[in-house]
Amino acid sequence: MSAVPEPETKPAARESLGGLARLFLKLGTIAFGGPAAHIAMMEEEVVRRRRWLDHARFVDLLGATNLIPGPNSTEMAIHIGLLRAGWRGLIVAGACFILPAMLIVWGLAALYVKYGSLPQATWLLYGVKPVIIAIIAQALWGLGKAAIKDAITAAAGAAVIVCFFLGVNEILLLFAAGLGAMIGKNLRGSKAPRAAVWIVTGLPLFTASGTAAAEPATPTALTLFFLKIGSVLFGSGYVLLAFLRADLVERWHWLTDRQLLDAIAIGQFTPGPVFTTATFIGYVIAGSPGALLATLGIFVPAFFFVAISSPWIPKLRRSPWAGGFLDGVNAASLGLMAVVTWQLGRAALIDGFTIALALVSAVLVFRFKINSAWWVLAGALLGLARQLVS
């Protein structure tokens, strides 16, 4: 535990706890737009305005968040809290960033469960879902440019897509892709991409043991599921979709595709971490206890990983083997996200209006860099207008 860095000045660190709480409560309340927007707001606050960090240290922290599983913007908040005020700062900054979004989503989930079947709510969500598909497609494009770095990562991503359709467990695919890219990138010659593909496809198919049995939706099962997700998920909140659909919809039938899309819409429309989608899902499945357990499950690993990784994680990225593993995991996350986007699109695009709305939304989303919350609001209003004229 002594490896976790303590703040350089203890008195200043103690005095900063209140400032940390105020800052991250504010950001958790107003930070719309996903991880990239959240991180930009943090940079404005902690580098430019408060001068708690310089730009170089901030970029180092950003790189560190990409090397560990979990929600990137939340982990940035936790890293800043750790550097500013040690263990107490780690907890205060992370919890204050999560809390406003969790409470907002919790309240919306309660309204959804009570009123989600009313015609007005149905038509609002009818217009939102095609817009969400366009937003995810934009994120997929942006992530793809960063994740597909060479022939090896492209091969790993393609192999993951094939294996996913064959029913291979997505967590196993993540680790197989990481292993394949790590070995492939450190081999010489033209056989490296083929080696990566062989590992990604061969290892999961060799070790797969068939479809998982259905799980009852108990509080323990719900908590363990979100603990697992928070412990293995790399990338943005959008990658979360692949894991949620595979287990909650396909394997265990705890949710329908419609409910999953509604959860994604709520996550997009609210401020703070996109991972508070787990709060919404937990409430839909098991009420208020489920909302609390799902939130704790998905976020607790982020605190743990930041605490244990902070002293040595910059060295990992400089290692060609560790860097290759991370590149493979990122490519696998992209492949999983692409498959699930296609699956969710089939559930959302159900008629000419939704198809047209998705196409127009895609053009606008790619053309204009506007906060995604505004696009979601526009989709909701168009869905409601569709009801009024029909």
Burial 228-252 (b: 16+ CB within 10 A, else e): bbbbbbbbbbbbbbbbbbbbbbebb
In the predicted model, what is the mean pLDDT of residues 95-102? 96
User: 178-197 pLDDT, tens per residue?
Assistant: 888 888 888 765 566 666 66
Write down the pLDDT at residue 209.
47
Is residue 7 within 8 A of residue 84, CB to CB? The reply is yes
- Provide the pLDDT confidence category of residue 293 given band limits of 50, 70 and 90: very high
Kindly tell me if the per-residue pLDDT of 301 is higher than 60.
yes
Kindly tell me if the per-residue pLDDT of 59 is higher than 90.
no
In the predicted model, what is the mean pLDDT of residues 51-71? 77
Burial of residue 19, with CB atoms counted within 10 A of its CB: 0-12 exposed, 13-18 middle, 19 or more buried? middle
Kindly tell me if the per-residue pLDDT of 5 is higher than 50.
no
Is residue 252 within 8 A of residue 115, CB to CB? The reply is no
Q: List the one residue out of 282, 258, 262 whose CA is nearest residue 380.
A: 262
User: 14-46 pLDDT, tens per residue?
Assistant: 447 888 999 999 999 887 666 766 887 788 889
The residue type of 147 is: A
Lowest-confidence pick of 118-122, 362-366, 380-384: 118-122
- Measured distance CA(383)–CA(356) in Å, rounded: 12
> CB neighbours of 333 closer than 8 A, spacing ≥ 6?
143, 147, 174, 233, 234, 235, 239, 242
- Measured distance CA(331)–CA(336) in Å, rounded: 9
- Measured distance CA(192)–CA(146) in Å, rounded: 20
Kindly tell me if the per-residue pLDDT of 212 is higher than 70.
no
Write down the pLDDT at residue 237.
62
Kindly tell me if the per-residue pLDDT of 107 is higher than 90.
yes
User: 149-179 pLDDT, tens per residue?
Assistant: 888 888 888 888 888 888 777 778 878 888 8
pLDDT over 70 percentage in the chain: 82
Write down the pLDDT at residue 193.
66
Kindly tell me if the per-residue pLDDT of 260 is higher than 80.
yes
User: 215-254 pLDDT, tens per residue?
Assistant: 788 889 999 999 999 998 875 566 677 778 888 988 898 9
Write down the pLDDT at residue 6.
42
Write down the pLDDT at residue 190.
58
Q: Which of 100-104, 236-240, 256-260, 311-315 is predicted most confidently?
A: 100-104
Average pLDDT, the chain: 81
Write down the pLDDT at residue 205.
56
Write down the pLDDT at residue 10.
41
Residue 31 zone, left/alpha/beta (φ > 0; ψ -120 to 50; rest): beta
Kindly tell me if the per-residue pLDDT of 125 is higher than 90.
no
Write down the pLDDT at residue 110.
94
Top-confidence residue, 123 or 307: 307
Write down the pLDDT at residue 360.
92
Kindly tell me if the per-residue pLDDT of 9 is higher than 50.
no
Write down the pLDDT at residue 89.
94
